[in-house]
Chain A
Amino acid sequence: MNKNELNDFINGLRHKNPDYRTNLYQRIDLIEEKILCGNMKITTTADLLLLTEADDDLTRVYFCSRNETGLQTIIPSLSSKPEKTVVDVIGRGEKLEELSAALCRCGFQHAFRFIRMSTKTPILPDVGITNVEIAKREDASEINWIIRSTFETTYAHIPNLSEIEADCEKGFVHVVREGTKIAAFAYIAIENHLNHCLRYFIALPEARGKGYGKQLLRHGFEQLPLNGLFYLWIGTYNPTIKKYEKYGLKHDGLIDDILTIAI
């Protein structure tokens, strides 16, 4: 299916249809490219366009569905192992809850819920001398290892080494070192001139309680331009939410629900 056929198929599913549901917000030319490269597979039924994308050892599912009947055909249309399949849905309010509930009726279950916390006016942590520096490309391996040994990689998109190297070169990673080793870092992706996303914020266990987190946050906040938005996604049960609230971040209503196939 080429780009124009994809376009026509999706328009056929969604046009003047209030029951249309989707979690697909990628450019169609990129999707076409991924299909051509073999990274993304496409399946269609009368009521569904299903795209599956391999991401490390899991399969991400994107769908455009005419209605709930289409959603019911997602799982039967999958060829990969059920426990390694995830769907994520981003939104807020009743419509998000309705879609998550509909997916659960169709054989999925909630795995995680992340909320977006954001602010345009962060409260700067009070710190003394800071030892924050910008990570170098050579730090990427160490940062990669810390991320992968800290985070549950099953659901979150973890950048690969080359992405981390590129982001170090862009100045996205701020570190505090103890000797020659990285003790803590903040990985802040600058998505456009106004959007700063705190993707990872990690202090090694032995480096906690030394004020490195405050130093890194302050340094990150100071990079934010006027009217810029500082944000992060965090699990709903993460106790660190309260700490971020102290610095002016609050849940802005956006939710990312991660669903897996119910076993």
Chain B
Amino acid sequence: METIYKILESIRPESNFKNSENFIDDGLLDSFDIVSLVNELEEEYDILVDALDILPDNFSSLNAISALVAKSGGKIED
């Protein structure tokens, strides 16, 4: 989780992800950020996220993102 949090911070350093219940609804991540985030997750976890799964709901929280990483075959250790 900490790795994902660091990636999020690198994409949007000004955003406070820890205080948000929904990153998308709260406007912390936009469509461009999602594309960047997917690229970073794929690189970090050596996975391929299916285009089918690139939907706002899968990026709305740390739990949702880590579930997506796990679904895509990534191993979350922290």
Task: List A residues at the B interface (Cβ < 8 Å).
Answer: 3, 6-7, 10-11, 14-16, 18, 20, 22-23, 25, 27-29, 64, 89-93, 95-96, 99, 116, 118, 191-192, 194-195, 227, 229, 252-254
Contacts and interface: CB of A to CB of B under 8 A. Distances in A.
Given A99-B32, A116-B27, A227-B21, 14 more contacts: A7-B51, A11-B50, A14-B35, A14-B38, A14-B51, A22-B35, A90-B30, A91-B30, A93-B32, A96-B32, A118-B27, A192-B25, A229-B26, A252-B27
Given A15-B42, A16-B42, A23 B31 contact: yes
Q: Is the interface of A mostly helix, strand, loop or mixed?
A: mixed
Interface in B1-32: 21-22, 25-27, 30-32
Contact of B50 (A7, A20, A92, A116): A7
A63 to B, nearest CB: 13
15 contacts: A3-B52, A7-B50, A7-B52, A11-B48, A16-B42, A25-B55, A27-B52, A28-B52, A64-B51, A90-B31, A91-B31, A93-B32, A116-B27, A191-B25, A229-B26
B63 interface: no
Q: Which of A6, A15, A192 has the most CB of B within 10 A?
A: A15
A192 B60 CA distance: 13
Contacts, number: 64
A16 B39 contact: yes
Interface string B29-72: 01111110011001100001011101110000000000000000
A191 B24 CA distance: 13
Contacts of A191: 25
Contact of B27 (A7, A27, A96, A254): A254
